[in-house]
Amino acid sequence: MPKIPTGIEGLDLALGGGVPSGSLILLLGESGAGKSEFVYTVTANCNSMKEDPSLLPEGFDLVLPDNIWYATFARSQEGVLQDVRGKFSEDFSERFTRGTLFREFLTIPARLSSFSEWVSDLVSDGGHVKLRRDIFSTLARFLEREGPNSLVIFLTLTDIAMLFKRGEEMEFVSFLQSLREICRGWNATVFAILATGIFGKDVEALLISNADGVFLFETQGGEVARRNMFSCKKMRGTNITPEPFELTIGPDGVELTRVRTLAGR
C-alpha cells in the first residue's frame, strides 16, 4: 500500500513511511493543540518533496499527491495564508503556498459577524438541513473530480459538525462513513480536523472507529508549563505503538519528539 510521507521524520518512521494513500485521517484534539500547524507543516513538506525528490525518506513505498487542496468552510483562502504567514518563517510560507490549491465551500453573509452566529440562526429555523445537504453534494462532486491521487485538507470538519444539532449525531457518523468510502474508492487522502468536545464520548468513539487513521492532539500542564502532545491512535495497515510525541511549533514548522527521548530513555 503506497504511503504519503508527512516529511516529519520521526512520524514517518513510526508509520512505515507515512499515511496510506486513499485514507480518511481524523485529526482530533483541543483548540490550540497544534492541529492546523500540523497540516500546514505536512503541506509545506510535501510541496518541497515534490520539487526535490531527494528529500523523500528512503526504503519505503511512497507516493506524493498530485495536488494538495484545502477545503474550507468558515475560513477564506486569504485567512489561511495570513495564519501561515503569522506563525512561520517567510521560507516556510513560500513552501506552503507553492502548489497549494483552495476551494471555499461556504460564504458567510456579510451582515453576520461569525460563522457560529450564522449556524445558530440556521439551526433555529431548520435551514441547516438543506445547507449541509447542498454542501455534501458539492463535496462529493469536488472529490470525484479533484480527489483522486490528491491530498485534501478539511479546514475544518468542526465547521461541518456544527450543522448537526443534538439528536442528529448519527447522521454525522454516516457522513464520515460515506467520506471514508469515497476516499478509498477514488484514492483521495483526506486530513479532517475535528475539535474534541463537539460530540459526546460515545459518538466520538464511533467517529474514531470509522476513520482509517486518527492523530490525537492534547495539551498538558498549565499556562506556565503547558506543552502540546501528539499521538497516533490508529492507522490503516500499520502496526503503531501509541507512544506520544511532544509537539513544538517553530518558524520552520511542527517538530515531534518522542517523550521517551526527552526523558533520556
Read off the CATH number of the domain in which 258 is found: 3.40.50.300
Residue 264 burial (C-beta neighbours within 10 Å; 0-12, 13-18, 19+): exposed
Confidence at residue 261, expressed as pLDDT on a 0 to 100 scale: 53
Which domain, by its residues, includes 105?
Answer: 3-262
Confidence at residue 218, expressed as pLDDT on a 0 to 100 scale: 95
CA dist 27 → 19, 123, 153 (Å) = 13, 26, 10
Which residues make Cβ contacts (< 8 Å) with residue 102, sequence separation at least 6? Answer: 69, 70, 72, 77, 80
Please tell me the distance from the alpha carbon of residue 98 to that of residue 167, in angstroms, as a whole number.
Answer: 42
Please tell me the distance from the alpha carbon of residue 66 to that of residue 230, in angstroms, as a whole number.
Answer: 27
Confidence at residue 263, expressed as pLDDT on a 0 to 100 scale: 45
Please tell me the distance from the alpha carbon of residue 235 to that of residue 20, in angstroms, as a whole number.
Answer: 8
Domain count of the fold of the chain: 1
User: Which stretches of the chain score pLDDT less than 50?
Assistant: 263-265
Confidence at residue 1, expressed as pLDDT on a 0 to 100 scale: 84
Please tell me the distance from the alpha carbon of residue 52 to that of residue 29, in angstroms, as a whole number.
Answer: 32
Write b or e for each residue in 212-236: b if 16 or more Cβ atoms lie within 10 A of its Cβ, otherwise e: bbbbbbbbeeeeeeeebbbbbebbb
